[in-house]
Structure 1
């Protein structure tokens, strides 16, 4: 069984805080790439839901893609 709440309780608030703080794309990518990796290691299974929330941020989309999560169009 996967970890469904990791997005709304961990990833999404961290990503939103980085955006709100005006973090550079490099900082967002580096921080969130590592966080995605860690959460996936803990069986995060709702990555796509979080990706959907941040599709307008190229650095975040790139971090997800680096970890194998992309949006099918």
Structure 2
């Protein structure tokens, strides 16, 4: 049986402080990642501007994100 999720879902762009805390919680650090690491994320609205400050780049048109609603 799966454990209950501890994820928080918010209908807003995270603050820089929230983003930094998420990175630490997820273990996303260039110091600890292997050279072949690849991290992807989905950003709604203008959130891509925040993530760009931390080295993330848009992938379109080379690739597109997808979803399926259940």
Question: Looking at CA atoms only, which structure, 1 or 2, has the larger radius of gyration?
Answer: 2
Whose relative contact order is higher, 1 or 2, with alpha carbons under 8 Å and at least 6 apart? Answer: 1
* Same fold? TM cut 0.5: no
Identify, as 1 or 2, the structure richer in helix.
Answer: 1
TM-score range, shorter chain: 0.3 to 0.5
